[in-house]
Amino acid sequence: MNAHLTDQQLNAYLHQTLNDAQRETLDAHLANCPVCRARLSELAVLQQRLRRELAAELKAVNVPLSLTFEMIAPKLQPQSRAIRLWHHSRQTLLGLTAVAALLMVVIVLANTVSPTAEQIGGRLISNAGRVGGWYIDGDDPASYEFGIDQSVAYTGQASGFIRAKADVPKGTGALMQGTSADSYRGKRIRLSAYIKTEEVERQAGLWLRINRSQIQTLRFADMNNRPIQGTTDWQKYDLVLDVPAEATHISFAFFLMGRGQAWVDDVQLEVVGQEVATTEAKEDPPLAQPTNLDFEAGLDGWLPERNPQNYTTSIDTVNVHGGQASAHIQPKQANPISYAVLVQSVKAEAYRGKRLRVTAYLKFEKVDATAQLVTGAFDAKNIKQQESKKSIDATAPWQKQSLVFKVPDNSDRIVLGVVLQGEGQIWMDDVQVEVVGTDVPLTSPEQVPDIAAQPSVPTGQDLDQSFSDWVIAGTRPQDYEMGFDSEVVHTGKSSAYVKSVASAVPEFGTFMTMVDAANYRGKRVRLAALVKAERVEGQARLWLRVDGPESAVLGFDNMQNRPIQGTHDWQKYEVVLDVPENSVDLAYGILVAGKGQVWLDDVRLQVVDQSVPITGYETKPPADLGFEIDDHSWAAPAENTAPTPAPTTPALISVTATPPAIEDISAVQFGGVATLVKPHLVQEKFLPGEAVPLTLDWTILIKFNQTYTSFAHVLDSQGNVVAQADLPLQVAALIDSIPASTGWNTPQGHITLPADLSPGQYKIAIGIYSNQTGQRLTTDQGETTTVMSTIEVVTPLARFGNTVALTDVELPVAKPAAGELLELSLHWLVSITNPLTLNTFVHVIDSQGNLATQADQALAPAETSVQTITLQLPTAMGTGDYQIVVGVYDTTTLSRLTTDKGDTTATIGMVAIGVPPTRFGDVVTLADASLLMIGPAPSAAVELSLHWTISATNPTTLTTFVHVVDPQGNLIAQSDQPLTDRETSIQTITLQLPATLSSGTYQVVVGVYDTTTFLRLMTDVGETQIPLTSFQLKSK
């Protein structure tokens, strides 16, 4: 074997594209050919360089990620060695041809890709597509680019924009906001904005929607009847709707449909008068009975699609089933956006509680389209009560299709008709609507066409029995694997997971369960869980649904505006909904739509108080409506922690999850053989003496007789190493053997912080050294380490067990009064090992050590948890200073955790309790009062401070009186003091108690009387005096 192996053979070997026989042949050759082995190592190093070049190019050029190797290969120049390397290495370092395709696009098509780097620039934001108050929406956001353009604006310095990046987008892209309807109920509102367009083929515009309970759409308006098309300069557009009293949320959006680009600026949501006309599309009232079912009267009685930019609905007199006419739907051009609907709406009065059969003759010509016969029933509030669909699976001549369904008793109207989506056409003729008997079977709900292919039993074993009642579901569950994993867990022995297994996953799979709503009716519930994600290219979501009678959806949140994407370690996610009194069931679970895998653990469904906000819709006021958004408002990239310069040209919001093959855009290479691809840091805040867990992702080019160890340093602000640890790599050396392909290594470990470490910011630096030489490998910049991230070390106010630490407290600034609510915030640092069974408690203690009030609240397992705790102060609570103490206990054992000092509670502050403002007559108001001092018996004295606000009409004849009474109401001591005629008056009154007074509890009351008439002034509730406080007298 004197001949050397070619680069093509070496690349095939390096990327393991050979069969066993071919590999054995090359194994034998390499063992006897030092030149071949050296060349193999050279090619592997070249790959690392090319990947770094790819990362740099991707920062400057926006290349559609959908391009594949096969699309680009015919345009390659075979003379280029770099191109040949990638051409022959179709299974690249991570086994994904998309990376090779992207690199070839950069090299070969850099001058033909539109837009160019000079046109777009900016930075990519990958965090569910959110910037400032706006987030990405639409049914096809991946076909568009979104961002802030600092070179185009109507007013100010910037505008928002949407730009199509696909040749023919399949749907719409939108920038959306949502807010609470609280400030708008019962009023008329107007959404307005200035919009500029460039070569918009289909449509740009605004939409405005008003919802109730996150499910029912009460009002909706868009611009389908006045679409913005072509190239237009800045122009103002508006939508006007009335907000019903039952509205809960308002959402609005700026959207683009099809090719082109559109800008938006100076968006405004405002209340207007009734003289401003609404722009809501008025629906035709339902018909008294089905009409014109054979279309001989044209389209009378039928409601065609209200999106004429994409489809045409007409009468065809040539293609008919019977008679002289049929209804016909077809797209206006290739690749139509959205869908077309042709339906008839009929009053349900004659059909309530009955079984109804709808039959139609349909003719379908399919290019790339779907069609369905549909029926539905709606109640008087337009809430859908029933829906049935039947798909037409293939091109066919006239065919008879039927749907049988029961009309719910509360139905107000029924609808029937056809839906067409995509490039095709459909005809409908000779529709029939008839009541049938119970012997005619109902049409089964159409969920998944390939029922036989659906998995029914999860894989693996649920070792903790945490998911015993969970089931597999979704629109295409057969595209996913679901089950239990005993290797990847957060707590316990196993977790649940959902993993895509199909090459294309356009629909979703979910792992879910359902519980009876009886224990939750009339309450607010929170679904919390820990989720770990790996290379989720589409979206994963935790979801919760509240079902009512007859399967009506009363509440729903599936994290649509905050999906789980990319790769990250265990993180806590929450969904919070209200459960109405008529709720029947609660359904919840985890879903995946697209490629990727998620693990689920520590799922918890619990009742929370009203201070916990519901999720799903934004409740904050509209924000960033002028798009003057600085860098700090941009959502941080989900996976790229490298600093990014502020954009000087339009900044892009990426809505396509970063492919695994290019996750090393922020990768750092060491010595040409090791690349730190993706560092993981679960927490950001730590306590002195705590262990910092680390997970590192490396790619290593294995060399002969070489192994490596990664290390981590904790650096203070001066660069001094305050803690360190080694994390050995998991790939062993191949001694006296040929090199293998570059491999993934994921070492895990921790760094223990010093117990006396001062609070502040610290950096985590990562490096790697050779086990054989002990020498550190250097980066391209000549450094031996690279900064991975920054952590914060905090000194706790109190530490409970080894699990939680209290780091900060926010007490009320204003003085609360008896009977009012006391609200405080506790900031906790929670260990990731928290088993979700811990509760905090807060006690309010008076000066004698008596418990005045208390509250408990569950402690979240997140890294940091901010609890807002509300305590109801008793109405009989006395004024004065009270102590606030806090503690933590385990709900499974009810045992309290102890602090470092061995105590079960820690004092976090004092609160002064005042009195609620009380008005006497129309002249004076007692604004506040406090008990200053109680002397010891037998010569005890009570000193009070009374704060009054006084009307200017006070005739200076008023006097306050203070009485001390015993438990039986007997007068023990009293004192009177005149009130001044000033606007405010502070009286200090001292009452000397009798020396013979025995120990016990006594009450202090106050009132006001007129010295000329000796008549007492009455309060708003008809009393002549009010209790101020009580005190305990103790013998000396």
Which of 5, 50, 10, 59 lies closest to 32 in space, CA to CA? 5
- Residue 463 zone, left/alpha/beta (φ > 0; ψ -120 to 50; rest): alpha
Q: Note the pLDDT of residue 107.
A: 30
* Greatest mean pLDDT range, 617-631, 633-647, 788-802: 788-802
pLDDT band of residue 662 (cuts 50, 70, 90) is: very low
For residue 882, give both structure tokens.
């009270």
The mean pLDDT value for 552-576 works out to 84
Which of 395, 351, 400 lies closest to 376 in space, CA to CA? 351
Q: Is the pLDDT assigned to residue 713 strictly greater than 90? A: yes
Tell me whether the omega of the peptide bond preceding residue 613 falls within 30 degrees of 0, making it cis. no
The better pLDDT of the pair 188, 892 is held by: 188
Cα(765)–Cα(772) distance, integer angstroms: 22
Structural element, H or E, at residue 171: none
Pairing verdict, β 553-557 and 523-547: antiparallel
Q: Note the pLDDT of residue 188.
A: 94
Q: Is the pLDDT assigned to residue 746 strictly greater than 80? A: no
Across 161-170, 187-196, 895-904, least confident range: 161-170
Q: Note the pLDDT of residue 111.
A: 30
Percent of the chain with pLDDT over 70: 74
Q: How many CB atoms lie within 10 A of CB 544?
A: 24
Domains annotated for the chain, with CATH where assigned, are: 7-113 (no CATH), 119-281+629-653 (2.60.120.260), 311-435 (2.60.120.260), 451-608 (2.60.120.260), 667-793 (2.60.40.770), 798-913 (2.60.40.150), 918-1033 (2.60.40.2550)
Which of 798, 795, 802 lies closest to 756 in space, CA to CA? 795
Residues contacting 816, CB < 8 A, separation 6+: 822, 873, 911, 913, 914
For residue 519, give both structure tokens.
């224990």
pLDDT band of residue 446 (cuts 50, 70, 90) is: very low
SS3 assignment for 735-781: CCCCCCCCEEECCEEEEECCCCCCCEEEEEEEEEEECCCCCECCCCC
**Model pLDDT for residues 939-968, shown as the tens digit of each residue:** 678 888 888 888 766 666 889 999 999 888
* Greatest mean pLDDT range, 454-458, 633-637, 744-748: 744-748
The better pLDDT of the pair 637, 975 is held by: 975
For residue 808, give both structure tokens.
């900060």
| Bridge partner residues of 133 (DSSP) | none
Cα(526)–Cα(894) distance, integer angstroms: 22
Chain-centroid distance of CA 899 in Å reads 35
**Model pLDDT for residues 582-611, shown as the tens digit of each residue:** 888 899 999 998 889 999 998 988 888 888
Cα(374)–Cα(385) distance, integer angstroms: 14
The better pLDDT of the pair 235, 216 is held by: 235
Where are the extended beta strands (E) located within 755-905?
A: 760-770, 786-793, 798-800, 804-810, 821-830, 838-845, 851-858, 864-872, 880-890
Output the CA torsion sign for 478, 483, 487, 492.
positive
The mean pLDDT value for 481-507 works out to 84
**Model pLDDT for residues 17-69, shown as the tens digit of each residue:** 566 677 777 777 777 776 676 667 666 655 545 544 444 444 343 333 222 22
pTM: 0.42
- Residue 52 zone, left/alpha/beta (φ > 0; ψ -120 to 50; rest): alpha
Sheet holding 743-745, edge to edge: 668-670, 674-676, 698-700, 743-745
For residue 715, give both structure tokens.
């650096």
Q: How many CB atoms lie within 10 A of CB 470?
A: 22
pLDDT band of residue 1027 (cuts 50, 70, 90) is: confident
Q: Note the pLDDT of residue 426.
A: 92
Where are the extended beta strands (E) located within 6-133?
A: 124-125, 130-131
Q: Is the pLDDT assigned to residue 10 strictly greater than 50? A: yes
Q: Compute CA distances 475 → 451, 469, 501, 544, 739, whole Å.
A: 10, 20, 15, 17, 45
Q: What share of the chain is helix, strand, coil (3-state, %, to 5)?
A: 10, 45, 45
- Residue in the block written with tokens 């950001």: 684
265 within 8 A of 192, measured Cβ to Cβ: no
Cα(1036)–Cα(1033) distance, integer angstroms: 9
Cα(585)–Cα(516) distance, integer angstroms: 5
The mean pLDDT value for 842-851 works out to 86
Burial degree of 968 (CB within 10 A; 0-12, 13-18, 19+): exposed
Q: Note the pLDDT of residue 781.
A: 82
Cα(102)–Cα(57) distance, integer angstroms: 9
- Residue in the block written with tokens 């029912």: 216
pLDDT band of residue 503 (cuts 50, 70, 90) is: low
Q: Note the pLDDT of residue 104.
A: 33
SS3 883: strand
Report the first-to-last Cα separation within the chain, whole angstroms: 108
Chain-centroid distance of CA 433 in Å reads 44
Pairing verdict, β 651-653 and 144-149: antiparallel
Residues contacting 879, CB < 8 A, separation 6+: 818, 912, 913, 914, 915, 929, 930, 931, 1028, 1029
Residue 86 backbone dihedrals phi, psi, to 5 degrees? -70, -35
Q: Note the pLDDT of residue 527.
A: 92
**DSSP state, residue 247:** -
pLDDT band of residue 775 (cuts 50, 70, 90) is: confident
For residue 815, give both structure tokens.
């003085």
822 within 8 A of 911, measured Cβ to Cβ: yes
CA 99-104-109 angle, 5° bins: 135
* Greatest mean pLDDT range, 14-18, 80-84, 211-215, 671-675: 671-675
Cα(746)–Cα(743) distance, integer angstroms: 10
Pairing verdict, β 685-686 and 786-793: parallel
Output the CA torsion sign for 1006, 1007, 1010, 1015.
negative
Cα(237)–Cα(256) distance, integer angstroms: 15
Q: Note the pLDDT of residue 97.
A: 31
Cα(435)–Cα(200) distance, integer angstroms: 48
Q: Is the pLDDT assigned to residue 720 strictly greater than 80? A: yes
| Bridge partner residues of 762 (DSSP) | 791
Cα(189)–Cα(181) distance, integer angstroms: 11
For residue 368, give both structure tokens.
């790339």
Q: Note the pLDDT of residue 434.
A: 95
Helix axes 34-60, 7-14, angle to 10 degrees: 70
Cα(511)–Cα(723) distance, integer angstroms: 42
**Model pLDDT for residues 112-141, shown as the tens digit of each residue:** 333 332 233 333 333 344 556 777 777 777
653 within 8 A of 165, measured Cβ to Cβ: no
Query: What amino acid is encoded at 69 in this protein?
Result: F
- Computed over every residue of the chain, the mean pLDDT equals 76
Structural element, H or E, at residue 50: helix 34-60
Cα(258)–Cα(172) distance, integer angstroms: 7
Across 373-387, 416-430, 750-764, least confident range: 373-387
Helix axes 81-88, 34-60, angle to 10 degrees: 100
Query: What amino acid is encoded at 785 in this protein?
Result: T
Q: Is the pLDDT assigned to residue 262 strictly greater than 90? A: yes
